[in-house]
């Protein structure tokens, strides 16, 4: 029957990307999707990725065979070391199981699907996953699609444009014992606001007391502090506390491998004499889920990432490339703040400098965002998020003036 399937709304982020492409105005500014742009507003192929790509293409043995269900073993092993640290007790105890996924989205999906099937806390009320309010819009869809009950915890303070730590902590403390808590490992999307290490320690402590289950989404390792290890600090603190936990790891942003869909899912068992047996059982079930959905993951992006992660020289070059990206983003935060200061734009704009990672949550409201688009051809999500990488030395002044205009209206 014709009316069984209703028309769904367009995806807001990809809709924004399409609208930007269609706009023919030469002044248009794309601050929508979180993808790095160079100072000429162009996509940037990381020099290290170019090198790895050239090496791969000239390999006479390169073929297009299937990867194993769990993905490329060199890639998953290197991904474990990157996120957990080479000397992680979880790795030496062999209590981690990892599967290559269709980028971070696939990893969040695999973890959520696994929870929806197998997470049966003794307290039935606890069968829910708590996400930050706000969170990456796709979290909501992925989790709803696998029928996992979803709740939220406060995260962002509209007053300070920083972390609402008391709200977050209180909600986690009040959640039924044994709940799943989805945490952004670093460079929170969309707010650009992260807990401090002290705050993370408090969150870990209350989660341990409440026997909550952490699920980390790590899509920006290398983008927040400029150090890969520091950006994984929260995850490793939780591992050190003895949690059983899951991690979704994306290589879209930090390798610029957006369309190649390279990512990894990790399950870390708590330290115990049966941990190895547990990861074997969990891994066997994850393999069935993976096989039924994607059969086996896409090879090319993982091969590029694997080459870089497993080669000391390429790895050092990668860290350099990461600094190029995070450095330019920091410069743009500074330039935007300076321009707003110069214009004496009403309001406090310190948060532009204080927030970190790919995004800034400007505090602009939906009407202001709409006006920026109509009057100045500036494209950003209606929650007021801007992708900092869309700014450059050629458009930051224009953007600041446009913001100044709508704030004064
Ligand atoms: C974003 O939030 O802009 C990115 O994570 C891209 C995406 O897939 O939503």
Question: Alpha-carbon distance 300 to 298, whole Å?
Answer: 6
Total-model pTM:
0.97
Domain check: are 257 and 394 in the same one?
A: no
Probe target for ligand 1 pocket from 37, 189, 221, with the most ligand atoms within 8 Å of CB: 189
- Rounded percentage of the chain residues whose pLDDT exceeds 70: 100
* Ligand 1 contact via 13 beta carbon (within 6 Å): yes
**End of a domain among 310, 337, 356?**
310
Q: What is the pLDDT of residue 122?
A: 84
* Ligand 1 contact via 36 beta carbon (within 6 Å): no
Identify the CATH number of the domain in which residue 342 sits.
3.90.1150.10
ipTM value for the complex: 0.93
**Ligand 1 atom showing the smallest separation from residue 136 Cα:** 2
- Which entry of 30, 164, 217, 231 is annotated as an active-site residue? 217
Domain check: are 189 and 272 in the same one?
A: yes
Domain check: are 228 and 266 in the same one?
A: yes
- Is residue 194 among the annotated active site residues? no
Domain check: are 123 and 241 in the same one?
A: yes
Rounded to the nearest angstrom, the distance between the alpha carbon of 21 and the centre of ligand 1 is 17
Domain check: are 380 and 271 in the same one?
A: no
- Name the closest-CA residue to atom 4, ligand 1: 34
Q: What is the pLDDT of residue 284?
A: 98
Rounded to the nearest angstrom, the distance between the alpha carbon of 241 and the centre of ligand 1 is 31
Rounded to 10 degrees, what is the CA torsion of 157, 358, 173, 248? 160
Inter-residue contact 182 to 153 (CB < 8 Å):
no
**End of a domain among 251, 285, 310?**
310
Range 356-383 burial, b when 16+ CB lie within 10 A, else e: bbbbbbbbbeeebbebbbeebbbbbbeb
Q: What is the pLDDT of residue 270?
A: 98
Inter-residue contact 101 to 110 (CB < 8 Å):
yes
In a domain, 388, yes or no: yes
The CB-based long-range contact list for 109-113 (8 Å cut-off, 24+ gap) reads 109/142, 109/145, 109/146, 110/248, 110/265, 110/286, 110/289, 110/290, 111/215, 111/246, 111/248, 111/265, 112/142, 112/143, 112/146, 112/148, 113/146, 113/289, 113/293
Question: Alpha-carbon distance 118 to 181, whole Å?
Answer: 16
Q: What is the pLDDT of residue 232?
A: 98
Rounded to 10 degrees, what is the CA torsion of 318, 200, 270, 89? 50
35-79 tens-digit pLDDT: 999 999 999 999 999 999 999 999 999 999 999 999 999 999 999
Inter-residue contact 155 to 183 (CB < 8 Å):
no
Question: Alpha-carbon distance 60 to 269, whole Å?
Answer: 40
In a domain, 59, yes or no: no
In a domain, 53, yes or no: no
- Is residue 54 among the annotated active site residues? no
Domain check: are 124 and 205 in the same one?
A: yes
- Is residue 136 among the annotated active site residues? yes
State which residues form the domain around 335.
Answer: 12-44+327-408
Domain check: are 161 and 256 in the same one?
A: yes
In a domain, 3, yes or no: no
Length of the chain equals 409
Q: What string of pLDDT tens digits covers the 409 residues of the chain?
A: 668 999 999 999 999 999 999 999 999 999 999 999 999 999 999 999 999 999 999 999 999 999 999 999 999 999 999 999 999 999 999 999 999 999 999 999 999 999 999 998 888 888 899 999 999 999 999 999 999 999 999 999 999 999 999 999 999 999 999 999 999 999 999 999 999 999 999 999 999 999 999 999 999 999 998 899 999 999 999 999 999 999 999 999 999 999 999 999 999 999 999 999 999 999 999 999 999 999 999 999 999 999 999 999 999 999 999 999 999 999 999 999 999 999 999 999 999 999 999 999 999 999 999 999 999 999 999 999 999 999 999 999 999 999 999 999 9
Identify the CATH number of the domain in which residue 151 sits.
3.40.640.10
In a domain, 66, yes or no: no
Domain check: are 305 and 371 in the same one?
A: no
* Ligand 1 contact via 314 beta carbon (within 6 Å): no
In a domain, 366, yes or no: yes
Domain check: are 299 and 347 in the same one?
A: no
In a domain, 381, yes or no: yes
Q: What is the pLDDT of residue 392?
A: 98
Rounded to the nearest angstrom, the distance between the alpha carbon of 34 and the centre of ligand 1 is 5
* Ligand 1 contact via 103 beta carbon (within 6 Å): no
Domain check: are 109 and 191 in the same one?
A: yes
**Number of structural domains found in the chain:** 2
**End of a domain among 310, 338, 359?**
310
Domain check: are 262 and 366 in the same one?
A: no
Domain check: are 238 and 142 in the same one?
A: yes
246-295 tens-digit pLDDT: 999 999 999 999 999 999 999 999 999 999 999 999 999 999 999 999 99
In a domain, 216, yes or no: yes
């Amino acid at each position: 029957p014709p009316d069984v399937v209703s028309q769904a709304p367009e995806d807001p982020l990809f809709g924004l990307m399409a609208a930007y492409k269609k706009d023919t105005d030469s002044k248009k500014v794309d601050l929508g999707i979180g993808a790095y742009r160079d100072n000429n507003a162009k996509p940037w192929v990381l020099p290290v990725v170019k090198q790895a790509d050239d090496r791969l293409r000239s390999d006479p043995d390169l073929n297009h065979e299937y990867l194993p269900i769990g993905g490329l073993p060199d890639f998953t092993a290197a991904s474990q070391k990157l996120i957990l640290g080479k000397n992680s007790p979880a790795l030496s105890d062999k209590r981690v199981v990892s599967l290559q996924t269709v980028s971070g989205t696939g990893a969040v999906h695999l973890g959520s699907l696994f929870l929806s099937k197998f997470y049966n806390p003794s307290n039935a009320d606890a069968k829910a996953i708590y996400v930050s309010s706000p969170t990456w819009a796709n979290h909501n869809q992925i989790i709803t699609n696998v029928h996992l009950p979803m709740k939220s915890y406060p995260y962002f303070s509209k007053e300070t444009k920083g972390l609402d730590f008391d709200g977050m902590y209180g909600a986690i403390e009040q959640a039924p014992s044994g709940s799943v808590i989805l945490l952004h490992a670093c460079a929170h999307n969309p707010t650009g606001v992260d807990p401090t290490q002290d705050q993370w320690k408090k969150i870990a402590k209350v989660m341990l007391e409440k026997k909550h289950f952490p699920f980390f989404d790590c899509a920006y390792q290398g983008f927040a502090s400029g150090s890969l290890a520091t950006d994984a600090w929260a995850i490793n603190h939780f591992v050190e506390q003895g949690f059983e936990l899951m991690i979704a790891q994306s290589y879209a942003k930090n390798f610029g491998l957006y369309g190649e869909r390279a990512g990894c899912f990790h399950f870390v068992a708590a330290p115990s004499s049966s941990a190895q047996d547990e990861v074997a059982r969990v891994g066997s079930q994850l393999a069935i889920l993976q096989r039924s959905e994607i059969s086996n993951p896409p090879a090319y992006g993982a091969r590029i990432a694997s080459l870089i992660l497993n080669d000391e020289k390429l790895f050092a070059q990668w860290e350099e490339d990461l600094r190029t990206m995070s450095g330019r983003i920091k410069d743009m935060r500074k330039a935007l703040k300076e321009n707003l200061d110069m214009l004496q734009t009403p309001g406090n704009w310190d948060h532009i400098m204080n927030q970190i990672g790919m995004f800034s949550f400007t505090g602009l409201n939906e009407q202001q965002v709409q006006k920026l688009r109509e009057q100045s051809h500036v494209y950003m999500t209606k929650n007021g998020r801007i992708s900092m990488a869309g700014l450059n030395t050629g458009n930051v002044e224009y953007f600041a003036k446009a913001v100044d205009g709508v704030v004064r209206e």
